[in-house]
Amino acid sequence: MRPIPTGARGSYRLHVEFRHLASTFKDSILPPVFSTPYLVLIMENAALNAVREYLEAGESAVGTRVDVRHLVATPAGRDVEGRAEVTGTDGRKIFFRVWALDGAEEIGVGTHERTVVSTARIIERMTEKYGVPPRAG
Element (H, E) at 124: helix 119-130
Burial level of 20, CB count in 10 A (0-12/13-18/19+)? buried
Q: Active-site residue numbers?
A: 36, 44, 70
Q: Residue 116 CA to chain centroid, in angstroms?
A: 14
Q: How many CA atoms lie within 13 A of 28 on its CB side?
A: 0
> Under DSSP, is residue 122 helix (H, G, I), strand (E, B) or coil?
helix
Measure the CA–CA gap between 10 and 41, rounded to whole angstroms: 13
